[in-house]
Structure 1
Amino acid sequence: MEEKRLKENRHLREQLDKLLKEARRNEQTQTSFDDFSLSVVAAQGPKELFDLILHDQKKFRIDEIRLCLVDRFHEVERLLTESYQNKYHGLSFIDTETSNLLISDIPDRPVLGTRIISKYDWLINIEETSKYKSAALLPLKRGDEIIGIQLLLSEDATRYNKSDGTTFLQKLGAMIAISIENCINRQRTLELGYQDGLTNAYNRRYFDERLKHEVDRCTRHKTDLVCLFIDVDFFKKINDLHGHQVGDAVLVRLVALMTEQVRSSDIVTRYGGEEFAIILPETGIQRAHEVAERIRSKVEAQKLIFDDSTLGITVSIGLASLSQIRLQKGSDTQ
């Protein structure tokens, strides 16, 4: 009888020890999650935020992470990535024009298991899918709107099972979604300080800062960069004859025409007055000449109508190439 009671006590102690260890693990996990949550919410910019989401989050026994954001108005990718010179590994964007059906197929709640790896590999661009044995898909929502998804991949088949609860993952997805939305809004606010109030082109301050970044990046990657400098011909005469309101309308229309002729990665800026500058990263002289001619001819063909009179405008365009400046500096030192 005594032996039986001792055996039961040992068994109870073992169970208690097991429960205590599990409780400590859960407490440590919760503490780590709380610390991670505070860091994500406090992230000051896109790079810090994506480093946390795509890299630091791996400390929760995650082998690989993919994050895909919905870019409904073709601005999210630009706002979150243009200030960073390298691509974020694991980050991608989709838009509603080409991927609306795919977006509508994203679930409202987290999904666990292995089937989602094959179902969403086309969306997240996963390589070597066979090495991952379990996964969790987290929809990122703000209100009723899906703003993205996160895929957590593990080589451990027991890491994510369909029978597991998803409350923790729901909280994680909600917290990440809030942080991403806050980051986008901060970038929008920051961008307002870099915009010309009349034309909505970037201003001279942004040109100076961005040019330095692009020169550093092109130097590091050994690629070329060209700047176009554009001046409206006889702009003072336009103001004198038609008034400043017409002159302002000319500048607004000119920016719209220039923006249509360049890539989304090119930077259109109002350099000052009727002078504009366009940064063309990773662009050689030949292509820059083609872009300049396209802008010149497009502007020349444009006829603006004001008070029943037709106004034609022309521009003069010059360019400067990073490679030519390097060559010139090299020859000067010889």
Structure 2
Amino acid sequence: MTPSDAQAQIQDLRRQLQSLLEAAHANERKLDRFDALERRLVAVSSMEELVNLLLVDCRADFGLDAAELWLLDPDGELSRALPSLPMVKAPQLLDNHGPLKDIFGAARTTRLIGPGHDEALLRKAFDPQATVRSAALLPLIRQGLLIGSLHFGANDPERYDAASGTKFLDRLSAIAAIAIESMLNRERLRRAGMTDGLTGVHNRRYFDHRSLIEFSQAVRHRYPLACLFLDIDHFKAINDGHGHPAGDEVLRQVGGLIQRSLRTGDLAARYGGEEFVVLLPRTDLAGAREVAERIRQMVQEAPFVMPEGGTVSATLSAGLAMLSSDATSFAELLSAADRALYEAKRAGRNRTIADTEGETA
């Protein structure tokens, strides 16, 4: 070997060493970023923070061009909890496993998709407006169940190579799945503390808290606030004639009819026994009367299906009151609605009466 050949070989070895050092430093920086992300995932305190971290912060921290989060939500838990949250980007909620099976099949392992491979899958996994050329699709698995998926996309076709390792991504998906399950469990506990277990509407304790807030807001901003007191007619007869399980089923289904009749921002609660109370912020007398009559008619027309088969009929009476301009407490509005309900009962039941007029709707 000539001196010039030896020198060239040394230079080549130095370049290889430098390349290895740079790769090692890059991996170290990547590891630091993943470690920081994992710490933040473990420390999140709300579903809003978690979603923003995965879809917004991850995209910025890792220089991604697209990020998507799919979460399985067959019972509508997340759809009820997430719409009110101020998120920059919302997750896609799935009512079945079909889309997840299309991505992961039976393997349920991280998939790296490069150029020329599974382009149809890339179009499914990301917003149609995105120009993703390569992607990492991470399954979110908890206790052996696939609960969703996290998608990282890049316009650079070389960003994710199908032959590359997925160690960091696998760990990230595991930590993200734990954080998501933790937030779901926390949300379930929170809802259990403010929800009536039988009917699914809010409980009396939550209503007492929320009603004071709604009263304060209505007084401060001078907007109308309507209150409905709803009571199932002859409920004792339903229990006596069909049994308490039948009565419970009527209560549960009436709660569902009330909830479906309300807007986002309205409040329904089980006040006690067979009584429900509804608050309608920014709703005038005509609008509140319309809501009360819609609920009353839905209950009157509904065939309440019993657990053992067959149906039971039921009706309800409604008392309606509007917050007066000189009210000094929410209790005044509640008492007015209660008086109107008493009048509806006294007038023959299955009707709506407004305290402000004392007339049948």
Work out whether the TM-score is over 0.5.
Answer: yes
**Structure 2 counterpart of 1:136, which letter?**
A
Whole-angstrom distance in 2 between the partners of 1:90 and 1:240? 47
**Structure 2 counterpart of 1:140, which letter?**
L
Corresponding residue number in structure 1 for 2:151: 151
**Structure 1 counterpart of 2:21, which letter?**
L
Verify: 1:229 aligned to 2:228, yes or no. Answer: yes
Corresponding residue number in structure 2 for 1:74: 76
Corresponding residue number in structure 2 for 1:258: 255
2:99 pairs with 99, 102, 123, which one? 102
Compared CA separation, residues 123 and 78, structure 1 to 2 (3 A): farther
Query: Quick check: 2:132–2:155 contact (8 Å CA) kept in 1?
Result: yes
* Correspondence 1:1-334 to 2 at 5 A: 1-58=2-59, 59-79=61-81, 81=82, 84-96=84-96, 100-107=97-104, 108-111=108-111, 112-114=113-115, 115-116=117-118, 118-119=120-121, 121-122=123-124, 124=126, 126-129=127-130, 131-196=131-196, 199-207=199-207, 228-232=227-231, 253-263=250-260, 265=264, 267-271=267-271, 275-278=275-278, 289-300=289-300, 313-318=315-320
**Structure 2 counterpart of 1:86, which letter?**
P
Cα distance, 1:36 vs. partner?
A: 0.5
* Identical counterparts, % of pairs: 30
Query: Quick check: 1:233–1:315 contact (8 Å CA) kept in 2?
Result: yes
Cα distance, 1:202 vs. partner?
A: 1.1
Corresponding residue number in structure 2 for 1:332: none
Compared CA separation, residues 294 and 170, structure 1 to 2 (3 A): same
Compared CA separation, residues 267 and 94, structure 1 to 2 (3 A): farther
- Structure 1 runs not aligned, ≥5 long: 219-223, 326-334
TM (norm. structure 2) is 0.68
Show CA shifts across 1:241-295 (max 9, x none): 989xx89975773352131354395643124565423356898876654442122
Q: Which has the higher helix share?
A: 1
SS at match of 1:106: helix
RMSD between superposed Cα atoms in Å: 4.2
- 179-188 or 101-110, which moves further after superposition? 101-110
Cα distance, 1:170 vs. partner?
A: 2.2
Compared CA separation, residues 212 and 116, structure 1 to 2 (3 A): farther
Corresponding residue number in structure 2 for 1:329: none
**Structure 2 counterpart of 1:70, which letter?**
L
Corresponding residue number in structure 2 for 1:330: none
Query: Quick check: 2:200–2:255 contact (8 Å CA) kept in 1?
Result: no
Cα distance, 1:229 vs. partner?
A: 1.8
Whole-angstrom distance in 1 between the partners of 2:152 and 2:213? 33
